[in-house]
Structures are given as structure tokens and as C-alpha cells.
Structure 1
Amino acid sequence: MILPIRFSAFLLLLLPVFALAAEPKHPNVLLIITDDQGYGDIGFHGNTMIQTPNLDALAKQSIRLTNFHVDPTCAETRAALMTGKYSCRVGVWHTIMGRSILRKDEKIMPQYFAEAGYATGMFGKWHLGDNWPYRPHDRGFQETLYCRGGGVGQSPDHWGNDYFNDTFMRNGKPEKQEGYCTDVWFREATKFIEKHKEKPFFCYVATNAPHGPYHVDEKYAQPYLDKGVPQPMANFYGMIANIDENIGRLLGKLDEWKLAENTIVVFMTDNGSAMGVLPARRAGGVSPLIPGENEKWLGFNAGMRAQKGSQYEGGHRVPCHIRWPADKQLRGSEVNRLTAHFDLLPTLLSLCQCSPEGESPFDGSSLIPFLHSYAHTDLWRRTLVVHSQRVEHPEKWRKSCVMDDNHRLIDGKELFFLPDDPGEQKDIAAKHPDAVKAFISSYDLWWNDVSKRFNEYSDIPLGDKHAPVQELCCHDWHPVDDKTPPWNQSGQEGVAKDPLVNGQWAVEVARPGKYAFTLRMRPSGLPYKIATGKARVKIGDVEGAVDISDPADSVTITLDLQPTGHVMLQTWLDEADGKSRGAYYTTVKRIDP
């Protein structure tokens, strides 16, 4: 009797060990999103010109969501992706003017993964806020390297960045890099994965390419120029070729490190194509080589109407490929039911067994019924809305699309049935008034729900102990007239042209005290003289001004402030000849009393 008892006791001691050994490791997650690459800008989708062998191979190995939709422009898609909610619900409906800043009270993707014990890293374009507490490393990403603003070379980005050997932000601190921007993002992602390969990781790679300016090494563009692809499309394709090369290299590392089997890889893009179809063909569909036009390639849009920024299909239907070799059901098939960017967060959390308890906080839904043997998909009925606002205050029905699996109601007026009319050329609204009425009713319910906080701002805190100094940029100006703030460094309306434009920052004062406002025409450290005249600052009801008797790189105005809720901050640089503009760059520092 003694031996069996001892053996049983030994087994009992081992039970926790067996249980621990049997417990599967949470899958890793690698989420890759490219910028301005459309559905038609991948060879697998029928583009016979572009060469994307690694993306094509990934598509073949993946579940492909072929009716997958995002917002028509950049920041909005990223906000929905990170929160699992409609972008406008969380305060994002533009790419500039302070409306690209994701509300600070929203819980986002890396926070869920970090709470579940994941290492979290982000590399590339953030575009959801450049100031504390909106930056990626403020919101759950433990390791980051990113450009500021909406892309490399925009007004908040490090001055002079041009895609090659640029300076990016390492957890909020500038750091010089070597190489092409896309190569940098993937190089850093590879280092992050290698560093954390023994534990679950969530790695978010968000390239700024192939967003313009279309800068790339000529070795990537020349093959397309040789085949008759015009500029800048040849460079656009070259940027995608470079992305494809980097994806292949990174996936190869997953194989080498034996991580591929248990890593969920998601590839998607943030909106329709920006340069995959020449302007003359943007309203049409497929565009093969056209005889009689010097055999010039005019692009490929997979039969869809319109491109980036549009409420038509080509503006928001994009690729989404999901690969997880350990899950034998996620292989080489298609889902053509209506899905969207905000479905990915609840889906990934479900796959990783990290879903929040209780009622779902998301607008999106887990796609596991589709991904796993299509169980109960006959019961899947949904109506989704896409819109492209890009204004200070959202307007009902503005550039909108109400969707079910097969229909698109555009601007509340045009109705298209995609199985018969994928190019959205035949308006059937007059023939189906009941369907139009039903879609309008769905939109009204949606609008009444998501618009409850449209009057709010994502205020930048001033004087908080976590960020006693804030660097403000005109990229985040809320408009005071019909002029657009200078969101690029160069270009016709860029900062370098010194446009006569002004705007206001939405801020809140966190603590009482003296605050120094340092006004500049260029970022700190760059010599650029402010003309003689007067500098002014107004924050809420408090104003200050100083005369500028000699040209200077900066002007500082000190004000005594008390804590506030939401207020607007505006600056003026009034020149002696009567010209006036806002200070494109303003540093706000709380001076200890």
C-alpha cells in the first residue's frame, strides 16, 4: 500500500507541471498595415504589372477577407483598428486639424495585449497624436520607433526627413537612423521580435510607404519604368516592391526562429489606392495596357470605382489577409461577407484568448465564425457605414456609404448592387425605394449613436507633471477660417512657403503657474528669423503680447494661468507690413512657481 500512495503523491506533485506544459502559449501577433496601397496594388488580386511575390505567397497561405472595408483616409482607419470602434466615435474624422488625435479615454489594442503579458512594439506611422498622452508609448506600446504627424516629411516630423537616413522618435526621443524608412521599420520590428521570441509578442508595423512623396531607390522603380509605367506610379510601385521585399525577409525570420507556426500574421492597408490608377481612370475599373496610347500602363483598381478619400468602393475596400499556421482552419480560403477594420481587435483578442470580460465594448465583431468553418454565418446580418468627413465638425451624410454584403447606398441617394455592378455605374435607387428607406433608417440610428460626442475635442494638456513641456505644431490647428493649416514641411501650402494661415490648438491647463509660450516659424534649433512686428498669444480669456524690435529665431511670452477645462490657444506673428500668421511651432513650458 505504501508504494502506490507514494506514487500517487508523486503524480499529484507533477500535476501542476503537466498542466503548465500542456497549456498552449498565447500566439504571437504581427500586424502589418501599409499606407495608401489599394486592393488592386497586389499581384495576387489581378494586377499583372506589379510584382509582389511575398504578398502573393502570404495571400495564398491566408484567410482572405475579400469584402473588407476601412475608412477612406489614414488616421481614421488607424483609430478604428486600434479601438475596435468607429473612428468618429473616438474623436477621429480627419488626418489634420486636431481631428486625428485619438481620445485619451479610449483603451486601445496594445493595452489589451500588454495586460495579457505580451511584449508590445510599434514601428512606423502612428498618426493618432504627437503629444502626451496620445503618443504610442503613452498608450500601451512598450517599444516604439515612429515618425510624427501623418507621415515622413509632414510638418510635425523631424525637419528635413525625406525617407532616407531620417530622424525618428524612439519612445518620444529623436534618434538618427540609417537607411530607407521602410527598411528601418522592418529592421526594428525584426530586432523586437528576436528580443521577445521567448514570450508572446504583439508587433505593429505601420509603414508610411507607399504614401507620397514618392521617394524610393531607383532600383525598385526602374523595372516599372522599363515596362512603360509612368511616373509617379512607377515610384509608387517601387515603394510597394520594397515593402514586399521587407515582408518576405521578416516572414523568413519567423521561419528561421521557428515562430511562424504560432504567429498570427495580418496584412492590410489603410485606404484605397492613392497612385495605383492614373487620374483619367480613377472613376473606372480595370485598366490594362491601352492600345493607341503608347502602350502606357494606366493602372489597376480591381474593377472598383474611385480611390483614396472616396465613399465609393475603391476608396475603402482593401486587402486583409490573416495567416496562422497553428490553426489549421486559417488556410488559403476566402470570406466574402462584409467585414471591417474594427473587427480585427475583437477577432485577435478572441484568437489569443485575451477578450475583455462582460459586454463587448466594440463596434466590431469577432470574425471567428468566419475563420473557423464558417459556423452560423448564415445568421450574419449587418449594416456598416463608411464616410469621409475631413472637416472640423462632421456633417450628416457627407461623403457616406451605407453597406450590407451586396449593396452600397452612396450619400443617401445612389444605390448599387455589387454582384451585378461591381464598378458602381448603375444606380438602382429609383427601382428599390424600400431598400433605400431601410438603409436611410439604419444610417439615422447609427448617426444618432456615434455623434453624441462630436462637440468634444482631444485637448492637449499643458503643464501636467507628466509633460511640463509640450511642443505644438500647426498640423493640429483647428481652423479659424476656410484655410487649411500647413500640414507638410514643403509643397505649395507647406511650412516652407510661410503661408498666411492661422489656427487654434485645443488644450487644457493642468496646473496653476507661470507658463512660457515660445513662438517659432520653424522647429526648435533651426535658424529662421521672425520678422519685426508684434507677437501675441491668447489662451481662453488670457492674452499677452510683446513687440519684436529685431528679427529673432523665437519670441517668448509669459502668462499666469489657472487650471482650465477645454480652452483654445492661438498665436499671432504680426509683421510691420501688415502680414499676419500663426506661429507654426509653439513650445509651452510650465515654469515652477
Structure 2
Amino acid sequence: MVQRYIWFAGIVPVRGLSIVQILTLVGAILVVSQFSSAQDKLGLQSRPNVVFILTDDQGYGPMGCHGDVNVKTPALDRLYAESVRFTNFHVQPNCAPTRALLLTGKPSLTNGVWATIRGRSLLRRGESTIANMLQDSGYRTALFGKWHLGDNYPFRPQDRGFEEVLVHGGGGVGNIQDYWANNYFNDYYLHNGKWKQFKGYCTDVWFDEAIQFIEENQDDPFFVMISTNAPHLPLVAPQSYMESYRGQRELLAQPGTAEFYAMVANIDDNIGRLRAKLDTLDLKDNTILIFMSDNGSLLQFTTWNAGMAGGKGRMWDGGHRVPFFISWPDGFSGGRDIGVLTSGLDLRPTLEELCGLESSSRSAEEGKSLGPLIRGLTPSWIDRMICLDYQNQQQTPQKNNPHVVMQGNWRWLAENRAGPLTWEEGVDYTLPDPRGELHNLDVDPGQRHDVKAEHPERVREMQASYNRWWRTLNSRDPAAGHEIVIGSDHENPTALTTHDISGEVAWNHDQVLAGFRATGHWEIEVTQNGEYEFALRRYPAEAGDPILGTIPVPAKLRNFHYFDGRYQYATTHEQSVALPVASASLKIGTFESEKALPEKTAASTDYEVNANGEVVAVKFTANLRAGITKLEASFSDVSGNLLTTPYYIKVTRNPVY
């Protein structure tokens, strides 16, 4: 028995151990025994369930257990108390890249997701996810909430291992791919690929449906990912939660802060409901429950940032250090911190080990299982360097964009963008040396002091690590595997939006109403030869609104606050902006055509019209050959000047008779 535990702890049994070695060994046995006994029970029916909760833009600080006095999070506080907490855990500094990193266990430049728009939020074809891995091993898999790794085949969650899917469109409720005029309440969401209306607040819906899925599949091992869009912009919370902040003038004076905290409090209540249901179903002990956020806080200046500099989109620790709580009562004891440098890359290999699956081969740049750390062991990779970068919506990744190299509590930081970093001490400064800074977080957790002059050899090593990382990961064509497929039997018709064009994107409903000028093309793969119809629209099909003239701003969007001056059209106007479109054009492959846009006409193969004869879509029919190509389209004025790329295009492969 002892020899078995020696093996499990990764120690080779040797005759003649000293007393000190024996005592050390006994300690290791005590740490791993609970984990090991759980592993003994693994079989398809006894494999642990996995519930993975990922919040959006919450960051590290805003919860009671991390010291924030402005929000009450009793459920998270209890989970904190019962979990193994990785306190030096890092992800990408923005959302879609983190999601791809977590699900694949591969860096952004490998999995293809280094931005949130421009076709670079699409999880590269051929990349396997945690859901694929667990589904192939007999797990029931489900996703509720936010996906943001592609809305078209083959990028949708149902194409990447999730059998049950309930999501909003795009990267958030109100994004251009989302159902028109969704506003968090009583919205339409995509349920297994079809729009369906749900009653209630979005976060409540995600947890309601997740709980129902768990109840229906409690006899099978399951993987449930609850990926909340809260507390991302727009900042909107149920009034019952806002009441808690009435009278707190300091919070209410900072636009969006009270809403942000109310959204976090609502998430907390839902986590409490979920855990109570797991307990009632007698599933809690054999369920791995993971909680984390996808990047640093959206509101690092007006919420508690745990003493860190930076927030979402920045390379200081406040931009990418996030909470990571993991609990599995049957598997290991909780209530302890692990301060070893770890990463979102490590989630997939960790679940692979904890769920008793066969280990996959990985490159040096990919993740490591956290199992040894949980068992109290010291893995060989404990001093590894981890590189992160921020490509800031680049179409093609660029070397020396903002990046950080981390080793233990050392940070080599190359971040030469201006902007304030923290609010707690009223500090407002920019990086003084654009060539980079070295920080030692053991003595300088706020990253105020550059110590590169005192540690030149460490700087050289960390810079060399970044250069190796870049050379290794950037050897692939950055566009490869991002093409949206049209004409597939898996998805026909295909709905395209300007979220995924190569250039200047319009990504939300507010921009559509404001008549924002989007420009660019789609990267397309035509799957089979045939006749294709393209319907170019200003508004989505479910809205049914005409291209010309103005429409009333939907009532649901009039209080849908981004608290961002760039996206406040709907909250400050009654009517949309009229676009003087005189013609529409389409170019794909060798096909190119332009059509005039009449004010009114009859329905035909050229135009889709409403009951008043107003044109809601301009249609083109093209015979296409299979292959990879570009799709370009435009709405232009009477002088031929581009007004915008059409925000919506529906592509249909017509049947062959």
C-alpha cells in the first residue's frame, strides 16, 4: 500500500530510507491519499462531473473573499473556503483569447484566437476543445451563456464538442450577431442553433437551464460550462439587485459601478443556487467545480483591484491575473492557497488527469496538469516561464506588441501604451521606459518600480524566452483555418455579420442604429460548386426593417447602457441614422455585380421587400466554385462613395433540381 502511494506521489521506492526521508514520504502520502482513493473509483459511471463557471470581465478583486467591501458574495466566499485556490493564475488580458486558451490548452497564436473581432475570434478549425475531449470519453456536454469563438459552422459550440448549447450571439448580449434588440431581459437566445425566447434575466436563464441539464443527466458524467456575459458591458442588472446600492452615493457617482457590483451579486446568488442543487442531487462530492474570470476587471479604476496595477487589456498583473478556485470533495481537500505561477493553459491537462483520461502529448508552450501541485508535489516545470501578449485586434499578429514574460513572481513587462494603471492611491502614470520594465512582485506587488538595471541577466533570459516563444508560435499562416464556410450541409443558410470582417468592424446593435461605417471583407470557404444567393441587409432578418430611411430605436435598447461614449446612440436618440444608400454591390471569386436601390418596389429575385414595398434586402445570385476566397460587399451613395459594408448578409446555397 505504501509503495503504491510512493508511486502515486511520483517517488521511486528506494531501500534504506533515512528517518527524514520517511517522514517526508509520510507527509506526501497523507496529502495524496484522498486524491488517490478518488482515482481508484474512476470508471465511466464514477468519473467526476465537471462544472466550469467563467465570468466575464469580473477580474480578481470584486468579491468579498478577496477583500472587496462593496459587494456581498456569500456563495463565492463559501466556495473560496472549500477550494484549492491558485493565487498566481494568469490568462490572456481579453475575453475570446482567454476562452480559446482555456478550452484548447494552447497559446493564442497556435489556436488562432488573438482578438475579439475581425475574424480572429474564430477558434481555428481542427483545434480540439475540452468539450471534444470529454464528449469522446462518454461525458454529456453543455454550454450556457457566452461562446465568442465563432457563430458560423465550423466554429459554433455545437461543432466543437458541446451537445447542448444555449448561448447569446457574438461576444455579448447586444452584439451584432445577437438577436435584434436583446437587452438581458426576456431575450431570444440560440438553443441548439435555433432562436428561442426565454423569460428572465440572462444570468438567471443560464443557471436555470444548466441546473435543468444537470437534473436530466445526473446519472451520467457531465461537463457543464456556464460562461456568463456578466459583468461585461453593457452594464445592466435586475432592479432588485440595484436596490442594494441605493444611497451609496460614492458608488453611484461612478457610472456603471453600482450596476457592475449588482451583476456580480446576481452571479453569486446563482452560484449558490447551483451548489445547493448539486447537494440536493447528491452530486456535490463527486463534482469538480471550477470558478474563474476571463481577464482583469473591466472597472479596475472604480472597483477593488487587490492592490494590482492595470485591468482588462493591459499587461500588468491586474490585466491577466484572475481567481481560480477548484473544488472536488471526493478528490482532494480544499481551504488552501497555491502560489505557484500557473496559467489558463493548464486547465485542459488538469481536467484530463483529474477525470482519469489518457494523457495527450503537448509541446513545451502548452499547458501542464495542476494535479501534482494539488497533491502537494513539486513538478519539474515549477520554474517555467510563461509568455502572454495582447494583439489589440490586429488582423495579423505583430511581434513586440504589449507582452509579459512571467517566472514565479518576476515580470518582464513590455507595455508602452499610455494610460492610468490603478486608482487606489490616485496614481496615474505611464510606463517610463518603452523598452520594458522588470518587476519583482515579492517586494513590489503593485509593479511601481523597475529593477532591470539591478538584474540584467534575468532580463536577458526573459527576453530570450519571449523571442523563442514568438519564433515557435508564429510559424503558421495567421489566416489559415479562419475561413467561414458557406454552402455546407451543416449550416445553410449562413448568416454573416460585420463582426467578422477584416477591417473596420461594426460589432453591436448600437452601431447599426448609428449607421457606423464598417469596411472590410470576409474570409470564406465555398464548400461545393453551386448557385448561391446573397441577401444584403442593414438590419437583421428578424427585425424586418428597410435599408432606407429611419426606424424608431427599439424600446428595449433605450436603457441598455454601455457607459461608454462610443456606444450610447440608442440611449440618447429616438430614431436611427438614415443612410442614403443608392446602390449595393457584391464581389466574390470571379463574380461581381452592382444593383440600384429603389425607395419602393415589388418583391423579386433582386429585392426582398416589406408590406409597404420598402426594400429590406438586396439580393444577388452567383454560381460559385468550391474553394477559399474573399467576399466583399458595399452600400454606396449616389456618387459611388462607400457608406458601409452591409452589416448583415444571409448566404444560401440553392438546391439543385
- Give the TM-score taking structure 1 as reference length: 0.89
CA 1:112/1:578 → structure 2, altered by over 3 Å: closer, same or farther? same
Match of 1:363 in 2: 366
CA 1:174/1:182 → structure 2, altered by over 3 Å: closer, same or farther? same
Does the alignment pair 1:443 with 2:466?
yes
Determine if contact 1:38/1:272 at 8 Å carries over to the other structure. yes
Match of 1:281 in 2: none
Could you tell me how far apart the structure 1 residues matched to 2:284 and 2:595 are? 61
The letter of the residue matching 1:237 is Y
The letter of the residue matching 2:144 is F
Could you tell me how far apart the structure 1 residues matched to 2:262 and 2:300 are? 11
Question: What secondary structure sits across from 2:231 in the alignment?
Answer: coil
CA 1:259/1:589 → structure 2, altered by over 3 Å: closer, same or farther? same
Match of 2:232 in 1: 211
Match of 1:27 in 2: 48
Determine if contact 1:273/1:308 at 8 Å carries over to the other structure. yes
CA 1:217/1:358 → structure 2, altered by over 3 Å: closer, same or farther? closer
Does the alignment pair 1:172 with 2:193?
yes
Determine if contact 1:76/1:88 at 8 Å carries over to the other structure. no
Determine if contact 1:393/1:454 at 8 Å carries over to the other structure. no
Could you tell me how far apart the structure 1 residues matched to 2:499 and 2:539 are? 13
The letter of the residue matching 1:420 is V
Residue in structure 2 matching 1:550, options 586, 599, 604 = 599
Match of 1:120 in 2: 141
Match of 1:573 in 2: 635
The letter of the residue matching 1:572 is S
Question: What secondary structure sits across from 1:169 in the alignment?
Answer: strand
Match of 1:229 in 2: 251
Alignment of 1:461-472 (within 5 A): 461-472=485-496
Residue in structure 2 matching 1:311, options 306, 312, 315 = 315
Cα deviations across residues 138-192 of structure 1 (Å, max 9, x unaligned)? 1111111001100000111000100000000001100000000000000000000
Deviation (angstroms), 1:41: 0.7
Could you tell me how far apart the structure 2 residues matched to 1:406 and 1:324 are? 28
Does the alignment pair 1:241 with 2:269?
no
Question: What secondary structure sits across from 1:185 in the alignment?
Answer: helix
Deviation (angstroms), 1:454: 4.4
Question: What secondary structure sits across from 1:302 in the alignment?
Answer: coil
Question: What secondary structure sits across from 2:109 in the alignment?
Answer: helix
CA 1:355/1:226 → structure 2, altered by over 3 Å: closer, same or farther? farther
Match of 1:344 in 2: 347
Determine if contact 2:141/2:162 at 8 Å carries over to the other structure. yes
Residue in structure 2 matching 1:584, options 630, 647, 652 = 647
Match of 1:4 in 2: none
Match of 1:563 in 2: 626
Could you tell me how far apart the structure 1 residues matched to 2:531 and 2:299 are? 49
Does the alignment pair 1:102 with 2:104?
no
Determine if contact 2:295/2:322 at 8 Å carries over to the other structure. yes
Question: What secondary structure sits across from 1:277 in the alignment?
Answer: coil
The letter of the residue matching 1:407 is W
Question: What secondary structure sits across from 2:182 in the alignment?
Answer: coil
Determine if contact 1:269/1:319 at 8 Å carries over to the other structure. yes
Question: What secondary structure sits across from 1:184 in the alignment?
Answer: helix
Alignment of 1:23-172 (within 5 A): 25-172=46-193
Match of 1:268 in 2: 292
Stretches of structure 2 lacking an aligned partner (at least 5 in a row): 1-39, 415-434, 549-580, 601-614
CA 1:357/1:379 → structure 2, altered by over 3 Å: closer, same or farther? closer
The letter of the residue matching 1:44 is C
Residue in structure 2 matching 1:380, options 379, 382, 386 = 382
Could you tell me how far apart the structure 1 residues matched to 2:410 and 2:364 are? 27
Deviation (angstroms), 1:21: 9.0
CA 1:98/1:378 → structure 2, altered by over 3 Å: closer, same or farther? closer
Question: What secondary structure sits across from 1:261 in the alignment?
Answer: coil
CA 1:65/1:154 → structure 2, altered by over 3 Å: closer, same or farther? same
Does the alignment pair 1:402 with 2:405?
yes
Match of 2:419 in 1: none
Match of 1:485 in 2: 505
The letter of the residue matching 2:251 is V
Could you tell me how far apart the structure 2 residues matched to 1:257 and 1:276 are? 38
Determine if contact 2:104/2:130 at 8 Å carries over to the other structure. yes
Determine if contact 1:84/1:362 at 8 Å carries over to the other structure. no
Question: What secondary structure sits across from 1:247 in the alignment?
Answer: helix
CA 1:383/1:359 → structure 2, altered by over 3 Å: closer, same or farther? closer
Residue in structure 2 matching 1:201, options 209, 219, 222 = 222
Deviation (angstroms), 1:349: 1.1
Structure 1 runs (4+) greater than 6 angstroms displaced: none
Cα deviations across residues 182-221 of structure 1 (Å, max 9, x unaligned)? 0000000000000111111000000000111111112212
Determine if contact 2:353/2:359 at 8 Å carries over to the other structure. no
Stretches of structure 1 lacking an aligned partner (at least 5 in a row): 1-19, 279-298
Could you tell me how far apart the structure 1 residues matched to 2:359 and 2:593 are? 49
Question: What secondary structure sits across from 1:122 in the alignment?
Answer: strand
The letter of the residue matching 1:571 is A
Residue in structure 1 matching 2:449, options 413, 426, 429 = 426
Could you tell me how far apart the structure 2 residues matched to 1:514 and 1:252 are? 54
Deviation (angstroms), 1:387: 1.2
Deviation (angstroms), 1:49: 1.8
Determine if contact 2:412/2:436 at 8 Å carries over to the other structure. yes
Deviation (angstroms), 1:469: 1.4
RMSD (Å) for aligned C-alpha atoms = 1.7
Determine if contact 1:271/1:318 at 8 Å carries over to the other structure. yes
Could you tell me how far apart the structure 2 residues matched to 1:178 and 1:116 are? 34
The letter of the residue matching 2:99 is R
Determine if contact 2:308/2:447 at 8 Å carries over to the other structure. yes
Cα deviations across residues 31-59 of structure 1 (Å, max 9, x unaligned)? 00000001011110111221111001100
Deviation (angstroms), 1:360: 6.7
The letter of the residue matching 1:265 is L
Does the alignment pair 1:301 with 2:305?
yes
Over the matched positions of the two proteins, sequence identity in percent amounts to 41
Deviation (angstroms), 1:476: 0.6
Could you tell me how far apart the structure 1 residues matched to 2:192 and 2:198 are? 14
Match of 2:20 in 1: none
Match of 2:498 in 1: 474
Determine if contact 1:185/1:205 at 8 Å carries over to the other structure. yes
Deviation (angstroms), 1:359: 5.5
Determine if contact 2:48/2:286 at 8 Å carries over to the other structure. yes
Could you tell me how far apart the structure 1 residues matched to 2:458 and 2:154 are? 44
Deviation (angstroms), 1:430: 2.0
> Structure 1 stretch 405-414 or stretch 583-592: which is displaced more?
405-414
Could you tell me how far apart the structure 2 residues matched to 1:177 and 1:501 are? 31
Deviation (angstroms), 1:356: 4.0
Question: What secondary structure sits across from 1:229 in the alignment?
Answer: helix
Determine if contact 2:498/2:518 at 8 Å carries over to the other structure. no
Determine if contact 2:349/2:359 at 8 Å carries over to the other structure. no
CA 1:439/1:361 → structure 2, altered by over 3 Å: closer, same or farther? closer
Deviation (angstroms), 1:385: 1.0
Cα deviations across residues 119-154 of structure 1 (Å, max 9, x unaligned)? 101100000000011111111111110011000001
